[in-house]
Structure 1
């Protein structure tokens, strides 16, 4: 344990219900005409993404509990199942999702 440095590792999964799939992943016939993507229906629930993350904060004042610090993080997500196969992901996107972050922290 250190009061100068914080390291956080995480894993998670996103579960989606039927309504989410129909709203955000399906391509309706009208949507297909407008976008040129093939029609695709997602009308069941399930896991849509698995994630792994790493986050590090380094204190600038010597104590993470008080003062400023700098942080950096990375998150990797992989689309799963029907969500990976939707034309939005398979044809024009990527099943691999990356997020990078840099920041300044202040604790009081």
Structure 2
């Protein structure tokens, strides 16, 4: 079965890098990746679309090319009182580390 924009896929992602003479590897199993909704680097998305089940895809990305450098101007405080949950939202209390839908903050 080929991967399309509507396919939910299971994958294993590995990051490999060297820092201060030490080689590091971080691997995680990714269940239910949504090719349409989840964000991928354009070159990786291109390789994913049309890939066959079980196909191995390897790519190298230069350091700093996937995530921009930290920008203090883009950091802001969010208070629990700013969350605007409604009956459709399953959570009534914000939790650290979760992503929330666009528009759920007031102010």
TM-score by length of 1: 0.25
Whichever of the two has the greater Rg, that structure is 1
TM-score by length of 2: 0.25
The structure showing larger relative contact order (alpha-carbon pairs under 8 Å, at least 6 residues apart) is: 1
Q: Greater strand percent: which structure?
A: 1
Q: Greater helix percent: which structure?
A: 1
